Structure 1
Amino acid sequence: MSFMNSIHPVPRGRARHYAGRALGVLLLGLVASCQGASQDAMSVEPPQAAQARRAALSKPRAQETFGSGPVRVGLITALLASAGESQRERDIRDGAVLAVDELGSGQLSLQIENTDGSSEQIQEAAKRLSDQGVRLVAVSADVRTTVAREGVRAKDVPILVLGSTSSQPGEGGFSFISDRIDSAVEGASYAAASGRKRFILLAPADMTAAERHRLDRGLAGYGIKPVLTAGAASVPGDASARAKLKDIDAVVSIGAGEAEVGSLSALRANGHLAANAIVVGSSQWTPASYRLPELARSHLCLFGPENGSRMTASFRQRYERAANLDAAYGFDIVALAAGLVRTQGESGINRQALLSPNGFLGAAAAFRFEKDGSVRRTCAIYQLVDGTLSLADPAPRSF
């Protein structure tokens, strides 16, 4: 995890990421610990690896502690849910445990509260963590920030929310996950940076009003105003709509189902798309959709850990499985705390520090928090080639 402080002011907009990348940044702290080591460099198994693998296979205890440093970081999971252990929860937990071992440097301890995911247990867990004097609380269970905040009495303790409700954290909390809306916005900004100007947005039927607000706000932040926003099931065929559809050079399709594919085919068949039109998808697209001929050459903005980084190599070696985005989220929770403590001291974990406009560099690329608690995260751009993902542009390491 590294902190990114710009030597010179950096203009907003994804064009800065993809048009040159010549940004002056000062990287502090833990770059070598988060990125850059090859698999070969990690080939010697650490002594604790076998023990960690056995622990990963065992049923988690209600309370777990890792590390012995004076600065405490709390993580509340739903690993004890009655429906059985969630792989997502396990990945987040394991990523956080790996980070405290690799980055804690004797300064951090990780206090994990494994719950059944109910509001009652999460509030009780938050109270126990508060009594232990944690400086940061992360909640992977899908609950509102207010549930944890009622247990964490100290109002200056930041709460990171990793559930699906985290797009609207509230109560002084911070979102920590990036979803299909974030992916579509960042993908659209890539198209805009490449010169596309006339956008059409295909909206999925299940998009909520809150998601639509976030989408419109995100696109506007990049100066993108679609000439038409239509339901994915159909593109309007009236004369007014047809007039708007001339020379469309970017289609943003959040979903990749039958409705979206049909609308995209209709746009092509009716000659509405310019010769250089680009189709931008989102993280909602599934591997099965990658093979659809109608979606060939589409571009996707995907969040996740950098393959071949030290984090991914260490995670595979310890847990004998690949590190996914959830594992990177867990890793970055602890890495964020470690970086703040290393650069700003034991009292460095606070809301003001988290709102640094320069952001942070972690296993899941660069991210920063906005004043409303939402998160912005850079992503890698992939193109669908022969039904598979082909890297077109790595995730920017700065804003």
Structure 2
Amino acid sequence: MKRILHSILSSARRAGPGIPGRAAGVLLLGLMAGCQGVAEDAATIESPQARQARREAERVLKPRETVGGGPVRIGMITGLMSGAGAKQGERDVRDGAMLAVAELGGGQLSLTIENTDGSPQQVIDAANRLSGEGVKLVAVSAEVPAGTVRDALGAKDVPVLLLRGGAAERADGSFSFASDHIDSAVEGAAYASGAGRKRLVALLPADASASERQRLDRGLADSDIRPVLTTAAPFSSDASLKDKLKDIDAVLLVNAGEGEMGALSVLRSNGYLAPNALIVGSSRWPAAVYGRPELAQSHLCLFGPENGSRMTASFRQRYERSANLEAAYGFDVIALAAGLVRTQGENAINKQNLLSPNGFLGAAAAFRFQPDGSVKRTCAIYQIAGGELNLADPAPRSF
């Protein structure tokens, strides 16, 4: 507890070698998942026989599952029963949520999981059932329009958390819970700006959608970042750009395809980059590009659970595999509900409390919801060296 409180009250995030830290606001978060009052991980007090039986039961796919016996009911709708077989990402979400109920539920929560085939009709039927059972919150990992779930629930005061698509169209009372490559790119650019790199060129892939461009522009503006140039790669070395592109000290590559790599080469070959120019990327970069020499020392903002944390250790013990971002999302849905109920009572899960500017702390670092229903999430900064990712700056635990 003391270590976590110390991290939350830290006035600045630590920095990678040679790069000043990005200041972190000192805010009291509405939820501290690592400080929930559970004395022991449920898995540590099971007999070997009980643990094996539980694991076998959890591997069996069922259309409907309920865990926990608390009075506050939470619903989750997955696409785990799709005809193509179980999707690992859907299972990760479901398993993360079930772990959180065991660890953080504290006898106050019960979770009903509707495992559908992802079709609109099955999702509608699942939402209808959950609505009739008085759920206080519904998380959806099945890929369906938010309005489909919102309309089926009927009750407008039941928040819906969308675990797919950071840019998904949100209906009233729904919130994006997942962060994508555009969010990652914005946070990476903010890291560069905090390190004193103010002359930024932002390169989008040629196939970037208008929505992605708008979100990137809005995210950079919200972070008070004004790029010297934002363009789709590749671009030519036009004479009109010569003065504009002088002394560029940061380049944002949203993707790392051949177009972006060619544009980076143009910037370098024409002497547009300052000697200390910082290359920042996004979560869309495939691991295959980490070994490219022109991307050595680049920095990436990546979302996900902190290795070695209580959540990742408990997940591995319970499910015998590593926790990933999907598992952290499932865990954090329940951690969010548990924190609100624990601190403010059984009726605390509502839109007003979800919009707390202080945000929340979960397995996937700190997050908070914006008034438009989008999510802002802190991330860890990694530096590429020797073809591998090395942690340069842990995710801030506050905003």
TM-score (norm 1): 0.91
SS of equivalent to 2:219: helix
- Structure 1: distance between partners of 2:140 and 2:42: 30
Which one-letter code corresponds to 2:205 in the other structure?
P
Structure 1 match to 2:271 = 271
Matches within 5 A, 1:156-305: 156-164=157-165, 166-232=167-233, 234-305=234-305
Question: Residues 28, 374 of structure 1: CA spacing in aligned structure 2 closer, same or farther, 3 A cutoff?
Answer: closer
SS of equivalent to 1:212: helix
Question: Residues 166, 95 of structure 1: CA spacing in aligned structure 2 closer, same or farther, 3 A cutoff?
Answer: farther
Structure 2 match to 1:32 = 35
- Structure 2: distance between partners of 1:50 and 1:364: 28
Structure 2 match to 1:97 = 98
C-alpha contact (below 8 Å) 2:199/2:227 kept by paired residues: yes
Deviates more, 1:106-115 or 1:166-175: 166-175
Structure 2 match to 1:355 = 355
SS of equivalent to 2:361: strand
Deviations 1:265-318, CA, capped at 9 Å, x for gaps: 221121110011000100001111111111110000000001111100000001
Structure 1: where are the runs of 5+ without partners? none
Instruction: Give the one of 50, 53, 77 matched to 1:51.
Output: 53
Question: Residues 269, 397 of structure 1: CA spacing in aligned structure 2 closer, same or farther, 3 A cutoff?
Answer: same
C-alpha contact (below 8 Å) 1:93/1:330 kept by paired residues: yes
C-alpha contact (below 8 Å) 1:144/1:165 kept by paired residues: no
Structure 2 match to 1:394 = 394
Which one-letter code corresponds to 1:151 in the other structure?
A
C-alpha contact (below 8 Å) 1:187/1:282 kept by paired residues: yes
Deviation at 1:372, TM superposition (A): 0.4
- Structure 1: distance between partners of 2:163 and 2:94: 12
- Structure 1: distance between partners of 2:53 and 2:335: 22
Deviates more, 1:147-156 or 1:86-95: 147-156
Deviation at 1:28, TM superposition (A): 5.6
Structure 2 match to 1:381 = 381
Deviation at 1:230, TM superposition (A): 2.1
TM-score (norm 2): 0.91
Deviations 1:26-65, CA, capped at 9 Å, x for gaps: 6765433499x9xxx999574453233213432x111110
- Structure 1: distance between partners of 2:180 and 2:142: 16
- Structure 1: distance between partners of 2:222 and 2:25: 22
**Percent identity among equivalent residues?**
60
Structure 2 match to 1:315 = 315
C-alpha contact (below 8 Å) 1:34/1:309 kept by paired residues: no
- Structure 2: distance between partners of 1:26 and 1:327: 22
- Structure 2: distance between partners of 1:209 and 1:22: 32
Structure 1 match to 2:74 = 73
SS of equivalent to 1:244: coil
SS of equivalent to 2:312: helix
- Structure 1: distance between partners of 2:329 and 2:43: 24
- Structure 2: distance between partners of 1:177 and 1:26: 19
Structure 2: where are the runs of 5+ without partners? none
Structure 2 match to 1:324 = 324
C-alpha contact (below 8 Å) 2:166/2:179 kept by paired residues: no
- Structure 1: distance between partners of 2:104 and 2:45: 18
SS of equivalent to 1:157: coil
RMSD (Å) for aligned C-alpha atoms: 2.6
Deviations 1:6-43, CA, capped at 9 Å, x for gaps: x99x99xx9xx9345473636765433499x9xxx999
Question: Residues 18, 27 of structure 1: CA spacing in aligned structure 2 closer, same or farther, 3 A cutoff?
Answer: farther
